Amino acid sequence: MAKLINKETRKEVKEGAIITDFRGDTAVLVGFREPHKPSSTGRVSVKEDGSSFAREYFPSVFGLEIVDHQFS
């Protein structure tokens, strides 16, 4: 089962966590999509500052990494 971790602390990050991007802006983690092939990093979905819409970013924007994933 894939999980999302903080690259610096190596601790798991779960939905609902407040995460900070490389600019210092915060967002709420809504979920993530696993990589679909070895050259992919996957995506994280976040809601930013009161928005009702989720946006997707590369995990590295927030210092995150998806680990323990399986490719189909």
- Condensed to tens digits (0 to 9), the pLDDT of residues 43-70 reads 999 999 888 899 999 999 999 999 987 7
Note the pLDDT tens digit of each residue in 14-49.
999 999 999 999 999 999 999 988 888 999 999 998
Q: Name the residue ranges covered by the structural domains of the chain.
A: 3-67
pLDDT at 13 over 90: yes
Class of the CATH domain delimited by 3-67:
mainly beta
- Span between the terminal Cα atoms of the chain, in Å: 13
Q: How far apart are CA 3 and CA 26, in angstroms?
A: 20
Give DSSP secondary structure letters for 26-56: EEEEEEEE--SSTT---EEEEEETT-SSEEE
